[in-house]
Amino acid sequence: MVFKAQLFALSGVAPERQKVMIKGAVIKDDEWGNVKIKEGVTLLMMGTAEALPTEPVDKPVFVEDMSEAQLATALSLPPGLTNLGNTCYMNATLQCLRSVPELKQALKGFSGQISTSGVDTSDQSITAAIRDLFDTMDTTSNSFPPLIMLQVLHMCFPRFAEKGDHGEFQQQDANECWTELVRCLQRRLTPLPSNTGAEAAAVRSSFIDQFFGGEFEVTMKCIEAEDEPQSKSKEPFLQLSCFIEKEVKYLHTGLVNRLQEHITKNSPTLGRDAQYLKTNKIKRLPAYLTIQMVRFYFKEKDSINAKILKDVKFPMSLDVYDMCTEDLQKSLLPMREKIKVEDDKAVERAQKLKAKDQGTKGVAAPKEEKKNVKREPYYFPNDPGSNNSGHYELQAVLTHKGRSSSSGHYVGWVRKTKDEWLMFDDDQVNPMTSEDVLKLSGGGDWHCAYVLLYGPRILEIDLDAEKEDAAEKAASETTKTDNKETPMETAE
């Protein structure tokens, strides 16, 4: 057969069509028989070659030979944004914000236009520029320069247009850009309508308050005057801050540490300044939770915002239940219980599937996508845009590489699917994994997480799997009934 394979390579005649003879003897497929092969002997092969395959109309293009545009189309990659001279802070911010589908929906309903008439229109111009930029990104897979967006940003916030000694744009703080853009959107975007009625949709004054805005319950207690009653108030927030102190090794620790702090204020009881214990508890959770890693501090000696490079781990799944008020915790429990039940079911199904696959000689079964899935609402019926479980999934990360906020390089990392991520390094868009993203926790000169955007944990119920579970349960109950022993009559 090896010899016939060689003849096939030379002649194009398939082995099953070959008839090989030597001195009147026909060679078999599995053995040479009594035929003796000598040097210089002549063999005769008879057979018909099959038709040669035709050349493909569309010639294959290898990944190594693809242009950026072809690569983006082949891998279904969204477009990047060209760096226009130290504008990576803006590009990374916009890519992270674009990962929020509700924001894109709200922007499509905004009818304002870019205006150059004055400062009073800055909110409208920024909102319109972001809307137009996102619309363009939805219709192309090629990277392009965000010229209009940059011009509007410079017009509305001249400090972002500062130039260096050689006339180039200076690097800016990405979190400052994030904050300014969100504030403009906050003043212009109206809330999205709710499926639960118009009354619920009117709870928040803007889209940003609806989906990005949280609320603290603040308690103030005077330490020096025990008889002074504690006061309570409300305090809105659009970001949580994780201060990187010596004992902080994990994101959750840094967040919890800032819920309590000592401040000095005037005491009406003592008639002088006194020490107060300020305690914050989250009263309202937004659907999208923005967390700033406070990595920069002003270094007076060098007059720069120096960077803290310490490694602070952050999770893919964040639970903030313990940071909430008791009333909010009670409201979160029903959805948390649903999520726990579904997670337990998923573990049981995985174990059953693993047990079945053990008899298939190690061949892994193909992963089947969920087709019939029911998605539970992630917000309270009377508060659209909120989070009704306290569970979050990491959705985007804005990172910084360098030693100062006014230098270095910013990059956006956005989740595509459960374990697939995209790195937006200006106009370069590359696929990444969750493992790559978890390495962005700091500890060196590599990219460090600066702003984290967590989205809501959406409970998905696999209806097909639910039917299978119900069918198995019913079959099990039937088997138990059939196997019941009937009483036997005892003969005397």
Residue 220 lies in a domain: no
Helix (H) or strand (E) holding 201: helix 198-201
Check: CB of residue 130 under 8 Å from CB of residue 183: no
CATH of the domain at 39: 3.10.20.90
Residue 460 structure tokens? 């998905």
| Active site (annotated) includes residue 156 | no
| Active site (annotated) includes residue 88 | yes
Tens of pLDDT along 299-354?
767 667 788 889 999 999 999 999 999 999 999 999 999 999 999 988 888 888 88
What is the mean pLDDT of each successive set of 10 residues along the chain, which is 492 residues long? Answer: 83 85 80 81 86 67 62 72 95 97 95 76 93 95 93 94 88 95 96 63 79 96 90 95 91 93 91 93 97 84 78 96 96 96 88 73 51 88 95 97 84 93 95 95 89 96 79 72 55 46
Residue 133 lies in a domain: no
Residue 10 lies in a domain: yes
Name the catalytic one among 88, 96, 156, 448.
Answer: 88
pTM: 0.79
Residue 39 lies in a domain: yes
Residue 410 lies in a domain: no
**Of 281, 277, 308, whose CA–CA distance to 294 is shortest?**
308
Residue 343 lies in a domain: no
Number of domains in the chain: 1
Tens of pLDDT along 230-250?
999 999 999 999 999 888 999
Name the catalytic one among 177, 324, 391, 409.
Answer: 409
CA-to-CA separations, 334 to 31, 215, 337, 338, 341, in angstroms, rounded:
74, 21, 5, 6, 11
Helix then strand then coil, in percent of the chain rounded to 5, is 35, 25, 40
* Phi (first) and psi of residue 242, to 5 degrees: -110, 105
Which residue type occupies 386? S
* Domain membership of residue 39 as a residue range: 2-46
What pLDDT is attached to residue 369? 55
Residue 413 lies in a domain: no
Q: Which residue has the tokens 């490694």?
A: 311
Written as one string, the DSSP assignment of 420-484 is EEEEEETTEEEEEEHHHHHGGG-SSSS-EEEEEEEEE---EEEHHHHHHHHHHHHHHHHHHHHTP
Residue 81 lies in a domain: no
Q: What is the DSSP letter of 485?
A: P
